Amino acid sequence: MLAKIKNHTIDLSKPLDISIPLRGDTSNVNAWYVGHPKIEPHTDGDFVGSVSEGASTDFNNIMFNPHAHGTHTECVGHITKEFYSVNQTLNRYFFLAEVITIAPEKYQDDFVISRKQLQYAFGNKKRDAVVIRTLPNFNDKLSKQYSNSNPPYLLEQAAQFLVEKEVKHVLIDLPSVDREKDGGALLAHKAFWNFEGDMRTDATITEFIFVPNAIADGTYYLNLQVAPFENDASPSRPVLYAVENS
């Protein structure tokens, strides 16, 4: 099924899902020092909400943290005293996006994504969204346990570059755009949302994506949908569509 957006054609029958599914066990991807998510039958007295246990339907409770347990999209409410809901601030869902691949470089004791690397990979393109795939890019990203591993992150100047390019939505295959332990500085988050100025309340950060190697760098349309939770962050399912023509 072909659809036309502005002067681009995309094939809606060929989605490229870059989200990580959530599983209720220790194989689920994890960060931020919390336990694994749980998906369990609801119980009430003798009732067990499982068909295999004699119930008429499966009736599961799900307990998880959107920031720690998989693909999620967050708004500026993640770092503000005032409440902002990603369900309210994200009110468009299709965006022209650029997929770029970057091998984080050594910086002091860390590996980081620098402004220079983004400038080289993204150039002077005009895009609503940037999808960042980091190297190495193995399937272990689907189940990696990130706590106390000091993963790569964006330098503040790299986030500022995205703001200068008027990118409203950044997606990355890491637990955070900021350092795991930074004393609450959150320099990349604050830079991307222009926290000290006219805050970009319509901008979002999506973390914990996975971009398979079969998806080439280049221009796509991004469909970014979140579960309708009134919260600073929500589980999300970003889906790419190749641009058929311009």
pLDDT, tens digit, 9 for 90 and up, residues 103-129? 999 999 999 999 999 999 999 999 999
Residues 222 and 22: their CA atoms lie apart, in Å, by: 21
Query: What are the beta bridge partners of residue 174?
Result: none
> Distance between CA atoms of 172 and 100, rounded to whole angstroms?
10
Distance CA 69, CA 239 (A): 19
Q: What is the pLDDT of residues 40-81, one digit of tens each?
A: 999 999 999 999 999 999 999 999 999 999 999 999 999 999
What is the average pLDDT across 1-19?
Answer: 90
Distance, C-alpha 121 to centroid of its chain: 19
Q: Does pLDDT of 208 surpass 60?
A: yes
Domains and CATH numbers, the chain: 2-20+69-245 (3.50.30.50)
Residue 58, phi then psi, degrees to nearest 5: -80, 135
**191 in Cβ contact with 160 (< 8 Å):** yes
Residue 185: pLDDT band with limits 50, 70, 90: very high
Residue 246 confidence (pLDDT) above 60: no
